Chains A and B, each alone.
Chain A
């Protein structure tokens, strides 16, 4: 297949300057932490910087700063002025987009093509979209004078570090809340760079605070009596722990959790497009996507042809240096995550599944896993039920559309689903019967700030984005 080899096309690192160590961002200033941990480039294992582990006292200070800013400035500011700060932030993010993209790729391991073309543009779009809501909340359908919760504790994952920050911070600020944000332990750098954007935008001190560290920092936020609302994106297991923690406190909570999305290919699908869609659905961002199409359901009549084309397409996927502009699949975010993927795929093999990967050379340094598909899989196999959060696709088949729906819905999750068919009525029929919060028809893994995102069943509580997502940051709005 390699008639033409690609020459290396690395993006320049010169656009970013990484400090040797970072403090916590509290009340508009960076304050040094007492304990530290390294930020690692997962593609090389190289240490990028040193990050502070926030203590409970630090979390208390950050919450106090957020409360102070809420009471003194942010809740008193005319909404139209609040909007202008968000517009400023959106513009600065656009101006510094390349810097953010490069830093995100270095810290997270995702291909520069994705951080540059997907993550960072969506981040700016999120701030721009929500800026416009700030002075129009009375038209959003949550009452004539909708009220902010107060202090929002936001806890975000490592798969889309800055984008998840934007999903929480933009609507929280637009609705008049102040924020204490905890980035994921392995991906703090773009959040800390975002703190500098807040400074450049002259956002009032304390409106956004960033406390870095491990799960203990998140737990301190969840259990803090002066945090009014928790917005969490992460695993279903942690989501359940949070749900139990807030049972007694009455905090408002939104949870964006795991998924095991079915990507369903009907016999009448445009096969080549569907193959592209399946590849995008599971290998985008190394499969570190809660809404990934990790179960392929292909109709029996086209199974053999489809698998052959899928394998041929997978053989052309370029895995390697995330900074290379031609790279499709980058590094697994951490050694922990790599171990989880290896463990679950080993179970897949031991339970009788057949694993297949294209020939591809994994770099010797850093954390890597090849794009993999499992055939010979049934509904009962663990790899067809549990979220792998890696570039691993389970292949199942179906005969009738009804069977496809039954299999697709046979999961405690309900985040996403994909439908591939050229027949409009079939697409709409399937859309109606799939129990999932986001359904992509003849496309997959598309995101937009205007489009509500979130799951049914154990995939979470509430939506993010659009009018529905806005409500989560207003009192009483989480009932919608």
Chain B
């Protein structure tokens, strides 16, 4: 048995519920020191556009799922993640130079983050909506709605927890996403896509790309069918350029402080106010 050769995993993209290679045929090499680890896909602009199409197509279905249903699916993600803990620990240890104990702490925190946001699904409207006492015979209320398609540039590290802290608050309200994973430590993102694929999350709701962040980010920022972006994981020096490109469709672009929590949810909501006459 000791001579057995490992069966390695091919790390591909996650688009529309499937795991395609980059249409460009490109990969980039990930090493740990001198040791070869993997050849993840290097997504192209076309892959990004395909992912946005998938996210847009999936958006109304996800937004119109009941909050209870979305909450259960987010909780299911936590369940699936828990069962695969050791796989994530291995991948984090290899690429983030952490001890197994530290890596495990990161995975546990990522799982608990999903549980925390899962519980928000059916409380967002109550907490962030309003009924408004207008001076007239009208019933007037404000409900928070998802913005639509949100682009996420996930932070480099921690690769799993950082991704989850960006993704969960965007998904919970009914947005769909295209996420560009940590460039240097992309393995957890693709393994996480396998979690999503077994969590009853509808295809296209979350799409994950690996590749060169600085190559993909400007295309995401200038894409006219992306409504909003979380650029927390992009280099600070790229922020102004991304905001400038995003102005073409008045994209809502945010970068969050590390301790931001509910802001990561509320930033990606639109307030809709409805007036109706009162009468007999």
Listed in ascending order, the chain A residues whose CB lies under 8 Å from chain B are 125, 141, 236, 239-240, 243-244, 246-248, 255, 257, 412, 427, 431-432, 436-443, 446, 448, 450-454, 456-458, 460-461, 463, 466-468, 476, 479-480
Contacts and interface: CB of A to CB of B under 8 A. Distances in A.
Contacts of A240: 247-248, 250
A296 B272 CA distance: 21
B91 to A, nearest CB: 32
Closest 9 CB pairs of A and B: A247-B243, A243-B247, A448-B134, A247-B244, A480-B266, A479-B263, A450-B132, A441-B276, A479-B267
A436 B142 CA distance: 12
Interface of B: 64, 127-128, 130, 132-136, 138, 140, 142, 147, 227, 240-241, 243-244, 246-250, 252, 254, 260, 263, 266-267, 269-277
Contacts of A461: 250, 252
Contacts of A431: 272, 274
B140 A451 contact: yes
B271 A463 contact: yes
Contacts, number: 111
B134 A443 contact: no
B128 A480 contact: yes
A125 B135 CA distance: 9
A454 B136 contact: no
B195 to A, nearest CB: 28
Given A244-B247, A461-B252, A479-B267, A448 B274 contact: no
A446 B134 contact: yes
A439 B272 CA distance: 7
Contact of A468 (B130, B241, B276): B130
Given A240-B250, A466-B142, A446 B275 contact: yes
A134 to B, nearest CB: 19
A441 B274 contact: yes
Given A255-B250, A451-B134, A461-B252, A439 B275 contact: yes
B120 to A, nearest CB: 14
B266 A437 contact: no
Contacts of B127: 141
Greatest chain A CB density within 10 A among B64, B132, B266 is at: B132
B244 A244 contact: yes
B226 to A, nearest CB: 11
B52 to A, nearest CB: 15
B81 to A, nearest CB: 27
A248 B240 CA distance: 5
B247 A466 contact: no
B240 A443 contact: no
7 contacts: A243-B250, A437-B273, A438-B275, A451-B142, A452-B130, A456-B270, A457-B250
Contacts of B275: 438-441, 443, 446, 451
A315 B103 CA distance: 75
Contacts of B248: 240
B249 A438 contact: no
Contacts of B128: 141, 480
A453 B241 CA distance: 29
A63 to B, nearest CB: 22
A436 B263 CA distance: 22
A257 B247 CA distance: 13
A476 B273 CA distance: 22
